[in-house]
Amino acid sequence: MKDIKILLIDDDDKVKFNLNLFLEDEGFDCHAVETAEHAVDYLNNINGEIDLAIVDIRLPGMSGEEFIPIMKNKFPEIKTIIHTGSTDYRCPKEFEKYNISDDEVFHKPINDLTKLVDKIYSLVDE
């Protein structure tokens, strides 16, 4: 099985550090950034060569909802998971064209991280 490359975008340092560490411990090749602008730069520098992005919705500057269409229009093959602290967050209808639905939304804190790992594998193996 190939290494799964993940880009984690979250402005909360504790969440970013702990989730990044967990994903690396699970065997994923994970890179974490704190803003959508940094994520755009990173993706451009590596020519979009990641398998999956885990995107926080509330970010300083460009929001996750603004970032996702930019990423998907340039690199449509990147799978996406939304990770948000907004307990009432629902995926925008227009994200359906990117194959992102409420099934790809995880609310913070994730009580059972095995569900996140299972979702990563199911998306990347599609």
pTM to 2 decimal places: 0.95
Closest CA to 81 of 60, 110, 111: 110
pLDDT digits (tens, 9 = 90+) for 59-110: 999 999 999 999 999 999 999 999 999 989 999 999 999 999 999 999 999 9
| Band of residue 48 on the pLDDT scale cut at 50, 70, 90 | very high
50 phi and psi angles, rounded to 5 deg: -130, 165
User: By the 8 A CB rule, do 16 and 62 touch?
Assistant: no
pLDDT digits (tens, 9 = 90+) for 13-28: 999 999 999 999 999 9
Amino acid at 16: K
Domains of the chain by start residue, with CATH? 5-124 (3.40.50.2300)
**29-33 sheet: strands from edge to edge:** 29-33, 5-9, 52-56, 79-84, 105-107
User: By the 8 A CB rule, do 113 and 81 touch?
Assistant: no
